[in-house]
Amino acid sequence: MRLAILLLFLLSLFSLEVYSVGISSPYLENNTLKLIKGQSTMYTITLQNSEDIDINVKINYDSNIAKIIDYKEVYTLPAGKIDTQISFNITAPEKARIGDVYSVSYSMRPLSISGGGTLPITMGIAKHFNVEIAKDPNSADAPILWYYAAFIAILIILIVFMRKKPKKRKK
């Protein structure tokens, strides 16, 4: 009896089909993308299907600052293709303040295989990153550098004139 149960268990293990898909995303230091308020950038993820069969997937995302370009309800990942790209347009709000942090999360869930079959067990892949509003390096503090440069220039001119000033001679 135990042998029959063991054989049935082993048979069920070997009869399962496993399909694998993946997401590759760009490296972000501290998992944070830095943007200046009002600035937009593209963030591209790569969907991967290393299987010998096409797999249909659904992409979900949650963010008020990111939009998928050319969004589709269902994406078909061709067999063996590991470079299907999905691009997000990420725009920092104009009303944001320096240091504000926004969250962007997205997930991929396999739906079916080509030919209309469904996947018996599906596990999704979820990812997340932050968008931090950074200080614009070309604004605000730039005039302060000019003040320092002007101060140093005036100081040098004063030192030069003080050295050239003729000394009075005693008679």
Q: Which CATH number fits domain 14-134: 3.20.20.70, 1.10.8.60, 2.60.40.10, 3.30.230.70?
A: 2.60.40.10
User: Which of 7-21, 84-98, 124-138 has the least mean pLDDT?
Assistant: 7-21
Q: Compute CA distances 53 → 47, 56, 57, 77, whole Å.
A: 15, 10, 13, 9
Share of the chain above pLDDT 90, in %: 34
In the chain, where the domains are located:
14-134, 137-165
Q: Can you say whether the dihedral through the CA atoms of 22, 26, 29, 35 is positive or negative?
A: negative
Q: Which of 10-14, 38-42, 141-145 has the highest mean pLDDT?
A: 38-42
Q: Is the pLDDT of residue 90 over 80?
A: yes
pLDDT score of 67: 94
Q: Is the pLDDT of residue 3 over 80?
A: no
